[in-house]
Amino acid sequence: MSENMSPEIAAWIAQRGLGELAESMGIKIISISGDAGVATMPAEGNRQPLGIVHGGAYVVLAETLGSMCATLAAGENRHAVGIEINASHTKSCTQGLITATCKAVNLGRNLATHEIAVEDESGNRLSTVRITNFLRDNR
């Protein structure tokens, strides 16, 4: 967690966790709110047989961040569930730290859409991901 993250958000992430898949991939949340966030993931350990980062790893990074942003946007006693995601991969990466930057496109009462730019350490765009989450009341 980032030292710039509020204690409340850090506690929420610590209590909630990132999920087994995201944790096994080395995903880290750097900053997060309902309308924006930043997360990282190492290339190492997330590569396919050709030695490049698997496109699905970009999607997992983006969906983890986008869904967490949407859950925060949903508000207290609510949560987000993904209903649509798409990704356009534009460049490959073989090593280093990958950064995802999430920005809200639309935050409504029942739907939240975020766009996530996935970049390498040099700032090259690797993938552009858009996720739409349905915002639900907790049961």
Q: Which residues are catalytic?
A: 63
Beta-sheet pairing, 36-42 with 78-89: unpaired
d(CA 126, CA 3): 27
Helix (H, G, I), strand (E, B) or coil at 72: helix
Mention every residue, 6+ apart, whose C-beta is less than 8 A from residue 123.
none
32 - beta bridge partners? 37
Distance of CA 94 to the CA centre of its chain: 20
Mention every residue, 6+ apart, whose C-beta is less than 8 A from residue 67.
80, 81, 82, 131, 133
